[in-house]
Amino acid sequence: MKEPRAFPRRWNICGAELIAETFSSRIWKVLREDDSVAVVKALKPFDDVEDELRGAHFLRWRSGDGAVRLLDVEGSDMLLEYGGERLLMSVLDADGDDAATEIAADVLARLHRPSQHPAPPQLQPLRERFDALFARAGKASGSGNDDSYRQAASTADLLLESTRSALPLHGDLHHDNIVFSPRGWLSIDPKGVLGDPCFDAANLFYNPLDRDALCADPQRITRMAKILSQALKLDPCRLLDFAFAYGCLSAAWHGEDGNEKDESRELAIASAVRSVRADS
């Protein structure tokens, strides 16, 4: 490994390699003095940095059950258990979509297991996370995608009002956030949300991001809803409702960023999810 950048002395890091960089963070694979390997996630200053910091609270609370362990935090730098390099995408390619969905369902089941510790107070309430969808629906003028946004906002409002059990949620589970480690399949990069467990499964319907035909396939949507609802003991209709609302929320985020291509992509898949829900 290359010479490390400056890390806290107590982390005992003797080598570091930058393995990824996104708009929000730099990811370092680090070697520690005891020859163990870990990861440092160094957050950049950006608008939604609180999203990432809430994830640290979620990881600390989860304490390794279904997720990589948070080893330490220094400012906006996190020292994390190294989860490995094999992503859930490899299972989809080798063994098929259903096999990948079953693994994701198992990870979610572990993430949603009860804890002896209370939920971290720093987690984001799920209604707050839907702010962009409610704002977009409020601007609807009756043309273009307005019908989808209005229906999704109405659906989300009903779902949020009827939530009986609010749990700490990963908030961003998908095929690139599930890795195979020496401890089995684990999640990484949570957002730290508090709300209905159906929300945690919703993002899977829109992933992988480069498989639009797969994601919009009614048969795939139906199979995914069945696998997830059975494994997690969730109402499949409610799960599909959350998937529809989530897709429009994601589209609203892309709309805020001026990303019309991805906004249209999310709305198209959301429409397919809504059609499957109507037939269920």
Supply the residues annotated as catalytic.
Answer: 172
DSSP assigned state of 197: H
Phi/psi at 48 (nearest 5 deg)? -105, 30
Question: Could you give the strand order of the β-sheet that contains 167-169, starting from the edge strand earlier in sequence?
Answer: 124-125, 193-195, 167-169
Rounded distance between C-alpha atoms, residue 5 and residue 19, angstroms: 13
Sign of the CA dihedral running 182, 185, 187, 188: positive
Single out the residue of 122, 126, 129 nearest to residue 73, CA to CA. 122
* Dihedral (Cα; 161, 193, 173, 42), 10-degree rounding: 160
Rounded distance between C-alpha atoms, residue 222 and residue 194, angstroms: 26
**Burial class, 151, CB count within 10 angstroms (exposed 0-12 / middle 13-18 / buried 19+):** middle
Q: Which residues pair with 187 in a beta bridge?
A: 67, 178
Q: Which residues pair with 87 in a beta bridge?
A: 179
